[in-house]
Amino acid sequence: MPDINIGQQGKLKSVPKLTKINGDDALKIIYRNMGNNHAYPFVWADTITVASGATEAVVVSGVKFHGMKAAEYGSFSATPQSDPGARFWVENDTSLNTVKIKIGSSAAGAIKFNVICILGSDPDIEELACRGNTGAYQSLP
């Protein structure tokens, strides 16, 4: 079998590398150690508040990681801690490099959202080679 001893392969057919991952003692964040004293966050969580009477709150603005915009490179998900009373969504503005939580009508009271971000490009699941019964597509000859 030609796939033995070959790890998962991403879009660019690169073999994943072992990296050291560190968590902070107090912060809701996980860092990836890139070596040579370089580390960057790739998963973090935050609580964002949409103020009373407002229709939006900024999650990140102008943030870049290794030259890549957070609005393009990150995947953001928000969950309200209480019923917002209107629909809400996460808006990524890639031209201004901002990520905002928006609600359909002004908030009657302050609404807190739990937000999580994962950095990285979107994977093509069908192109990943893996073993076991994970359900992902495996390309065998």
What pLDDT, in 10s, does the model give residues 45-101? Answer: 999 999 988 899 999 999 888 778 899 989 999 999 988 888 999 999 999 999 999
The whole-number average pLDDT for the span 122-131 is: 65
Which pTM value belongs to this model? 0.70
Cβ–Cβ under 8 Å, residues 5 and 118: no
Could you tell me where the beta strands, DSSP code E, fall in 16-133? 20-23, 29-35, 38-50, 56-61, 64-65, 68-69, 74-80, 88-93, 98-103, 111-119
Could you tell me the pLDDT band of residue 137, with boundaries at 50, 70 and 90? low
Strand partners, 70: none
pLDDT at 53: 87
pLDDT at 128: 61
